[in-house]
Amino acid sequence: MLASMSGGDSNARDQERVKVEAFVKVSNTDGDHEYVFRTRDLSISGLFLYTRVAHIYPFKVGSTLALELYDYDEFLVCTVVVVRVVESGSAEADRYPTGFGVRITQCDDINRGRLQTMIDRVKAAGELY
């Protein structure tokens, strides 16, 4: 699904998304606390992270985080910023898990290549979101 950010849909994206369940570690940019999440979906520009204990993370819209995304025996690292939070009890939480969406803000060529390889593999399996 290719979606435009201008459509007014809070779930719209500017890049094609794929369904991915992967292990993710994030930390504040100061690195003092590390948190573990799963992905719901991802694209070349961002991903959605969730956990069953969503209320414990201290992130809000605008938080900058260091992210490690694990894919089988490889992983990629990048810097992301929180762009939206799905709180329990919200209308969106009725359809999706609580968690938060992040936009990738810094990712070197090697890590971007790893991300694209992951997306291509998932697309080949037919797992578009």
Does domain 19-124 fall under CATH 3.40.50.720? My reply is: no
User: Taking Cα atoms as reference points, which of 76, 81, 86 lies closest to residue 113?
Assistant: 76
Q: What is the pLDDT of residue 81?
A: 97
User: Quick check: 22 and 39 in contact, CB under 8 A?
Assistant: yes
> H-helix or E-strand containing 121?
helix 109-124
Residue 6 has pLDDT above 80, yes or no: no
pTM as predicted: 0.80
List, for residues 66-77, the tens digit of each pLDDT value. Answer: 999 998 888 999
User: Quick check: 48 and 101 in contact, CB under 8 A?
Assistant: yes
Q: Give the rounded percent of residues in the chain with a pLDDT score beyond 90.
A: 43
Q: How would you class 108 by CB atoms within 10 Å of its CB: exposed for 0-12, middle for 13-18, buried for 19 or more?
A: exposed
Comparing 87 with 22, which gets the higher pLDDT?
Answer: 22
Q: What is the pLDDT of residue 14?
A: 63
